Chains A and B, each alone.
Chain A
């Protein structure tokens, strides 16, 4: 720079890092309501995204732990009714025994449907069946399905031959039975049975939730059931599942293997999870739109702030602020605004996740990547939203800025 020899050397203007923050937050501190409202837009967007991620992670974690405890090595063999559903679907009576002889099979149970309805007592109107089915099942059915007993106990060799019954969770609810200590009785088809236990929900066989389960011997003795297997539940060694699945139809019904259907109940659960993932993507998209709108809100507020605060900009320029200092001030303000929204959004999203997961009895899983990603996304939005207003503020001619009223 040109200067006469006797001039004292000039040092450039300088704004300390801490002062950038101080100056950038000044506009926010002195206009609190506006700050809160403009941060709200970003907050909602981030909260939606963090919440959706948190909920989908929590629900996925729930499913994984459920699959873990249920085991994915269960196969269900049923008779297929064929196209048109003609003919009675039945598996050969000796099928369970044959299946047991397959090497990698670790446990086999089967159920037989028994015709008839279930009532709380004999006086209930016969039309009010409650949609509860009677099922005769092997005594180890609950073990095979890895179910658990809510109260009481399951049928065993001693009780299965007598008029005793175990209720599925939904059936118990519909019959109004929640306690077995007083040995309540229910009216099964045409005869009173004693409730000895109530099961927890069985995710692998929701049909059984809506059924009352009696012993095979009792079914035979009281209802003349032929105990032809309707469904056979097969546990296999984990690594042999596919080969067992391959040989099951031929083993169960060598004459008509095509009339045998083998399914894996956990597939349905996984499909359900996949469907939820699709919804997650949809809600994430909605969150992103909210975030974008929030970002536009910040840009809007910042443009207005620059116009409103022309005097301040002019003053700062007169006091020695460079264009870069002004640009930094307004960019910092936009970033802080977005950061407030980001932090608030992460907190709200986390709270929503925690509240919903708790209400569903899930473990709360808050993906760190979601929280950090949400905050970073907010900052990014703030930076983009603040860029144009900050440039405009910096480019403002000091004289013009000071003249504005």
Chain B
């Protein structure tokens, strides 16, 4: 518990929610994370970032390209290791984990949604979504059953057997979202989920993300789109590898600036 105690005293406390008390249930805790890419001079993509996300939150990480938000996504998603600092996902400290255990974290705890969808071509929607459960070792019939449920949940019950190139962009992203949530992960990381979509599809995808949030899913949306960020209950604004601003919609309905 020393880690937690230190954190309460440290600057990370800033990012830890709205002051409901220290018993808060955090899904994600990022503490003093530094990410440096080698070079001369080395590039510091994340420069002492700390933040915490509660279970059930819907937050946006907003910033221009090069601000470090994609690096943060990679570090939170355990796709990359921080140079310094601590990342805790659903109670698991991941900084020192081997590739095998990092993979386990991704398989069990994290769902990814990508700008380019990254669906498997030539494979139908059910199989694409079931791939989200592939590395849990679940039996194929169970995977498919859960995949159908997830597809129905994202409103694609009528597109179960379509392959990606028979689907519209919005539908493809829905398949990708179904794949991200099929395993009921602790947190879903969505990287520019509407970046490849027209405004109408974007709106419906955002609507879907809100619905998932309403059902209790924890979502972190990474975007360069300030407007989109503004539409979410919490925005963490990045600039030059640092959190510039962390604001959230208060209980009263107004934005509460958490940044000192």
Judged by a CB distance under 8 angstroms, whether B92 is at the interface is: yes
Among candidates B105, B121, B179, residue contacting A10 with C-beta atoms closer than 8 Å: B105
Judged by a CB distance under 8 angstroms, whether B202 is at the interface is: no
Q: Residues 74-105 of chain B: 1 if any A CB is under 8 Å from the residue's CB, otherwise 0? A: 10010110000000101111001101110111
B107 lies within 8 A of A13 (CB): yes
Judged by a CB distance under 8 angstroms, whether A11 is at the interface is: yes
A321 lies within 8 A of B135 (CB): yes
Using CB atoms, name the residue of chain A closest to B115.
A402
Judged by a CB distance under 8 angstroms, whether B153 is at the interface is: no
Q: Which of A4, A7, A10, A318: most chain B CB closer than 10 A?
A: A318
Using CB atoms, name the residue of chain B closest to A312.
B120
Judged by a CB distance under 8 angstroms, whether B137 is at the interface is: yes
Judged by a CB distance under 8 angstroms, whether A314 is at the interface is: yes
B88 lies within 8 A of A4 (CB): yes
Q: A7-B90, A23-B134, A398-B80 in contact; A13/B103 too (CB < 8 A)?
A: yes
- Distance of B14 from chain A, by nearest CB (Å): 20
Among candidates A18, A311, A321, A402, residue contacting B103 with C-beta atoms closer than 8 Å: A321
- Distance of B16 from chain A, by nearest CB (Å): 14
B93 lies within 8 A of A10 (CB): no
Judged by a CB distance under 8 angstroms, whether A243 is at the interface is: no
Judged by a CB distance under 8 angstroms, whether B112 is at the interface is: yes
B91 lies within 8 A of A4 (CB): yes
Those of A2-40 within 8 Å (CB) of chain B: 2-8, 10-16, 18-19, 22-23, 26, 29-30
The interface size of chain A toward B, counting residues with CB under 8 Å, comes to 41
- Distance of A254 from chain B, by nearest CB (Å): 90
Interface size class of B (residues with CB under 8 A): 35 or more
- Distance of B197 from chain A, by nearest CB (Å): 17
Those of B55-71 within 8 Å (CB) of chain A: none
Chain B contact residues, majority secondary structure: mixed
Return chain B residues, CB-CB under 8 Å to A312.
118, 120
Among candidates A4, A322, A325, residue contacting B93 with C-beta atoms closer than 8 Å: A4
Among candidates B90, B96, B107, residue contacting A2 with C-beta atoms closer than 8 Å: B96
A30 lies within 8 A of B123 (CB): yes
Return chain B residues, CB-CB under 8 Å to A224.
none
B122 lies within 8 A of A18 (CB): no
Return chain B residues, CB-CB under 8 Å to A324.
100
A211 to B99, CA, bound (A): 84
Q: A30-B123, A318-B79, A320-B107 in contact; A311/B100 too (CB < 8 A)?
A: no
Judged by a CB distance under 8 angstroms, whether B12 is at the interface is: no
Among candidates A8, A23, A320, A323, residue contacting B136 with C-beta atoms closer than 8 Å: A320
A330 to B185, CA, bound (A): 27
- Distance of A136 from chain B, by nearest CB (Å): 81
- Distance of B51 from chain A, by nearest CB (Å): 17
A1 lies within 8 A of B4 (CB): no
Return chain A residues, CB-CB under 8 Å to B193.
none
Q: A26-B123, A29-B122, A319-B131 in contact; A399/B100 too (CB < 8 A)?
A: no
- Distance of A241 from chain B, by nearest CB (Å): 70
Q: A13-B103, A315-B118, A319-B106 in contact; A4/B136 too (CB < 8 A)?
A: no
Q: Residues 123-147 of chain B: 1 if any A CB is under 8 Å from the residue's CB, otherwise 0? A: 1000000011011110110000000
Q: Residues 307-335 of chain A: 1 if any B CB is under 8 Å from the residue's CB, otherwise 0? A: 00001101111111111110000000000
A14 lies within 8 A of B137 (CB): yes
Return chain B residues, CB-CB under 8 Å to A405.
116
Return chain A residues, CB-CB under 8 Å to B93.
1-4
Judged by a CB distance under 8 angstroms, whether A397 is at the interface is: yes
Q: Residues 1-37 of chain B: 1 if any A CB is under 8 Å from the residue's CB, otherwise 0? A: 1011000000000000000000000000000000000
- Distance of B78 from chain A, by nearest CB (Å): 9
B92 lies within 8 A of A317 (CB): no
Q: Which of B77, B110, B120, B121: most chain A CB closer than 10 A?
A: B120
The 7 closest A-B pairs by CB, nearest first: A320-B107, A7-B91, A14-B137, A320-B135, A30-B122, A398-B79, A322-B103
23 A-B contacts (beta carbon < 8 Å): A1-B96, A7-B92, A10-B92, A12-B100, A12-B104, A13-B106, A13-B136, A13-B137, A14-B136, A18-B140, A19-B134, A29-B122, A30-B121, A315-B114, A317-B79, A319-B112, A319-B131, A320-B103, A321-B103, A321-B135, A322-B135, A325-B135, A398-B80
- List 17 other contacts, CB 8 Å, given A26-B123, A311-B118: A2-B96, A3-B93, A4-B4, A4-B91, A4-B92, A5-B1, A6-B91, A10-B109, A30-B121, A317-B106, A319-B106, A319-B132, A319-B135, A325-B135, A398-B74, A399-B74, A405-B116
Q: Enumerate chain A interface residues (CB-CB to B < 8 A).
A: 1-8, 10-16, 18-19, 22-23, 26, 29-30, 311-312, 314-325, 397-399, 402, 405
Q: Enumerate chain B interface residues (CB-CB to A < 8 A).
A: 1, 3-4, 74, 77, 79-80, 88, 90-93, 96-97, 99-101, 103-110, 112, 114, 116, 118, 120-123, 131-132, 134-137, 139-140, 179
